[in-house]
């Protein structure tokens, strides 16, 4: 499976053969067919689902429990939770020393927006892992907004972040001369999103995400 993820992440389904995967793993193609009756199709399906599950779990890594809207501290908890969520996505795979992590993320992102039809039900179930946590945070921050709008807003936030991560994160990281660190990107997206939501207005001047601090992070890149 590690060999399959390694090759599929770089070259996609059509660019890899069963023989190449077997050679990479040090096993015969006959042994692969013993475990995966559908051959390359079955192996790719399992590799992709494993990688996509890893992507979804990475997005909610270190998130605290969903805030209780009745708790007076719920809004602060939701703001800080949203910041963690965004940082998770933007910085995922930012460790150049962990090539296996990067491969799983790259394969997981490869078909996020256009998954194979036979994988759609399982992918939607995995997406819900991440989406439900994000909605729980946005509901606290925007209590008067309809649930449909919350879902659309969540899609807008994660869609942009996944796209950014795919194009200018994992792929460009392999090239020389990346000037902006993953942490700097994360700070920008956190600041930009919180400013758009307007939640910075209610934070004390010494809070890391107060208006003055967010302004510095947003305009630093301008």
For 17-41, the pLDDT digits (tens) are: 999 999 999 999 999 999 998 889 8
Q: How many residues belong to the chain?
A: 222
Q: What is the reported pLDDT for 23?
A: 95
In this prediction, residue 98 has a pLDDT band, given cuts at 50, 70 and 90, of low
**5 lies in a domain?**
no
Total-model pTM: 0.80
What's the structural domain count of the chain?
Answer: 1
Q: What is the reported pLDDT for 116?
A: 66
Q: Higher model confidence: residue 63 or residue 185?
A: 63
**106 lies in a domain?**
yes
**14 lies in a domain?**
no
Alpha-carbon distance of 219 to 185, in angstroms, equals 12
Q: What is the reported pLDDT for 54?
A: 86
**6 lies in a domain?**
no
| Cα dist from 193 to 94, 156, 188, whole Å | 21, 11, 8
Place of tokens 């992440």: 9
How many percent of the chain have pLDDT more than 70?
Answer: 83
Q: Extract the tokens encoding 25.
A: 């793993």
Q: What is the reported pLDDT for 58?
A: 86
**What does the pLDDT look like over 148-199, one tens digit per residue?**
899 888 888 887 776 666 555 545 555 545 566 778 878 888 998 998 898 9
**25 lies in a domain?**
no
pLDDT at 139 over 90: yes
Q: What is the reported pLDDT for 32?
A: 93
Query: What dihedral angle (degrees, nearest 10) is formed by the CA atoms of 91, 92, 95, 97?
Result: -170
Domain extent, residue 139, equals: 64-219
């Amino acid at each position: 499976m590690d060999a399959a993820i390694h090759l599929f992440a770089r070259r996609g389904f059509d660019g890899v053969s069963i023989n190449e995967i077997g050679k990479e793993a040090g096993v015969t193609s006959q042994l692969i067919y013993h475990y995966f009756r559908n051959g390359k199709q079955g192996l790719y399906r399992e590799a992709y689902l494993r990688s996509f599950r890893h992507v979804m779990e990475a997005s909610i890594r270190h998130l605290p429990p969903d805030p209780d809207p009745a708790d007076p501290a719920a809004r602060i908890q939701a703001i800080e939770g949203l910041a963690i969520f965004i940082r998770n996505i933007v910085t995922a795979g930012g460790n150049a020393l962990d090539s296996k992590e990067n491969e799983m993320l790259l394969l997981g992102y490869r078909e996020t927006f256009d998954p194979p039809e036979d994988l759609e039900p399982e992918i939607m179930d995995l997406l819900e892992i991440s989406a439900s946590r994000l909605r729980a945070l946005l509901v606290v921050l925007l209590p008067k907004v309809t649930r449909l709008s919350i879902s659309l807003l969540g899609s807008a936030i994660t869609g942009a972040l996944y796209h950014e991560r795919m194009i200018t994160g994992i792929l460009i990281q392999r090239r020389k001369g990346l000037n902006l660190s993953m942490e700097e990107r994360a700070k920008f997206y956190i600041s930009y999103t919180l400013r758009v939501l307007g939640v910075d207005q209610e934070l004390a001047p010494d809070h890391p995400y107060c208006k003055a601090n967010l302004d510095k992070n947003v305009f630093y890149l301008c």
